Amino acid sequence: MNGNPIYKEIYGEGRECLEAAGILEAALDARLLLEFVCGTDRNTLLAHGDREVSAEECERYRGLLERRAAHVPLQYLTGEQDFMGLPFLVNQDVLVPRQDTEVLVEEVMKHLHDGMRILDMCTGSGCILLSLLHYSNRCKGVGVDLSEQALAVARENYERLRAARPEMEAGFLEGDLFAALARGKTAESFANRFDMIVSNPPYIKTDVIDTLMPEVREHEPMMALDGGDDGLSFYRRIAADAGAYLNGGGMLFFEIGCEQAESVREIMEEAGFREIEVVKDFAGLDRVVYGSWFG
């Protein structure tokens, strides 16, 4: 023994640090950060709790604990988040993929057929589009975002996932919603027509953002959160223009805030969509609204 602390002791230090900072899942986050630093897994704490932790590992762990105690999201510290069973790179240029959004992907997959063309508005990390392409065959997709920094993350995720599935085909365009499709070879190859448009747009009311958890309001990108005065700005803009970019019988899918279903339904109806449905998440809250376009 050279005097270095043992694994279970340094974990206990981390848990106490995060508990004192008011982190909701202090024990879990302390364990995950230690596993990230040491390259271990969840069994190490139980089966090998007497394992020594090197001075370098301790220093790095304590540095990450300090940042997590300041409410930097865990995923920004580890640089990765699991979504739909796939590992996605994340940083402060993109929203952290959430389990609620898996409901959107799963609903789209019920209607997705081989060879379809998909447009993902406000793509962020690309987790929605790339999950759909990964779990389908011969589909092609375009992801659009106003942030070039976010698109850099999406492109990197695409290259990582394509290493396992080289037949995946996606392109990413910077621009303000459909205006991005007016230029670029990626848009031209799709002839600006898609079978499905999916979007998890910014939908938080502007005056509500200050009430969000500090992990969200202080660290996640504001432009991916702020949906305008009533939270519905992007739904109106996307629904109004989506029909011009959908093939006949094409579908538009939105993730929504849990109190926005009826408002988004009305927006889609006014834009000409039919057969509109609302889907609940695992907590029984409204989470997805989708409808069909018949031209």
Give the model's pLDDT for residue 1. 44
The reported pTM is: 0.92
Q: Both tokens of residue 127?
A: 């987790």
Instruction: Answer whether residue 29 shows pLDDT above 60.
Output: yes
pLDDT at 191: 58
Mean pLDDT of all residues in 38-45:
92
Confidence of residue 295 (pLDDT cuts 50, 70, 90): confident
- The residue written with tokens 């938080």 in the block is 204
Structure tokens at 71: 């409410």
What's residue 188's pLDDT? Answer: 52
* CATH code that applies to domain 80-293: 3.40.50.150
Q: In the prediction, which pLDDT does 3 show? A: 67
To 5 degrees, how large is the angle CA 195–CA 200–CA 201?
A: 110
42-63: average pLDDT: 92
Q: Each residue of 83-140: pLDDT tens digit?
A: 999 999 999 999 999 999 999 999 999 999 999 999 999 999 999 999 999 999 999 9
Would you say residue 287 has pLDDT above 80? yes
Strands of 92-245, DSSP E: 117-121, 140-145, 169-174, 194-199
Encode pLDDT of 155-207 as tens digits: 999 999 999 899 999 999 999 999 999 765 555 555 578 999 999 999 999 99
| Bridge-based pairing state of the strands 86-89 and 80-83 | antiparallel
Type of residue numbered 251: M
Tens of pLDDT, residue by residue over 226-280, are 999 999 999 999 999 999 999 999 999 999 999 999 999 999 999 999 999 999 9
Q: Indicate if the alpha-carbon torsion angle 14, 18, 20, 25 is positive or negative.
A: negative
Give CA–CA dist 11/198, Å, rounded: 41
Confidence at residue 190, expressed as pLDDT on a 0 to 100 scale: 55
Per-residue pLDDT, 25: 94
